[in-house]
């Protein structure tokens, strides 16, 4: 697995938690919302293995209900543990992104100096 996909997986986990925290939702709706935010997902289906993991870790719960489409649809909602995890993710992300950002900036400046 490439580093990009691995990184995406971790970010996807946090982003899906954030989406579910906004209110009960289901798979297809989540992919639509990700696209609205221009989140570069590898493929739509890649959210499902992540959702399974979130559920296994008790961060989300799900219910199967009939959908307007006919077949049953799985709706997700966040748990208290999920909310805590989301907070942790936010903190991590802020620290990480500011770190990476400042590092990249610095390197650019370094390059400028060489030139």
Rounded to a whole number of angstroms, the minimum distance from the CB of residue 78 to other proteins is 18
Rounded to a whole number of angstroms, the minimum distance from the CB of residue 2 to other proteins is 12
Q: What residues numbered 38-97 form the site for other proteins, per CB under 8 A?
A: 42-46, 48-49, 52-53, 56, 64, 67, 69-74
Q: Does 26 bind other proteins (CB under 8 A)?
A: yes
Two structure tokens written together for 31: 């992919």
Sequence-ordered list of residues with C-beta below 8 angstroms from that of 61, at least 6 positions apart, any chain: 55, 76, 77, 79
DSSP state of 46: G
Spatial separation of the C-alpha atoms in residues 113 and 115, rounded to whole Å = 5
Interface residue list for other proteins (CB under 8 A): 26-28, 31, 42-46, 48-49, 52-53, 56, 64, 67, 69-74
């Amino acid at each position: 697995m490439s580093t990009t996909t691995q990184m995406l997986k971790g970010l996807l986990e946090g982003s899906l938690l954030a989406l579910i925290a906004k209110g009960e939702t289901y798979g297809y709706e989540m992919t639509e919302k990700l696209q609205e935010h221009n989140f570069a997902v590898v493929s739509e289906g890649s959210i499902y293995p992540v959702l399974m993991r979130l559920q296994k870790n008790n961060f989300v719960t799900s219910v199967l209900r009939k959908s307007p489409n006919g077949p049953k649809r799985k709706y997700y909602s966040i748990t208290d543990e999920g909310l805590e995890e989301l907070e942790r993710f936010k903190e991590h992300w802020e620290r990480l992104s500011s770190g990476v950002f400042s590092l990249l900036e610095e390197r650019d400046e370094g390059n400028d100096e060489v030139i």
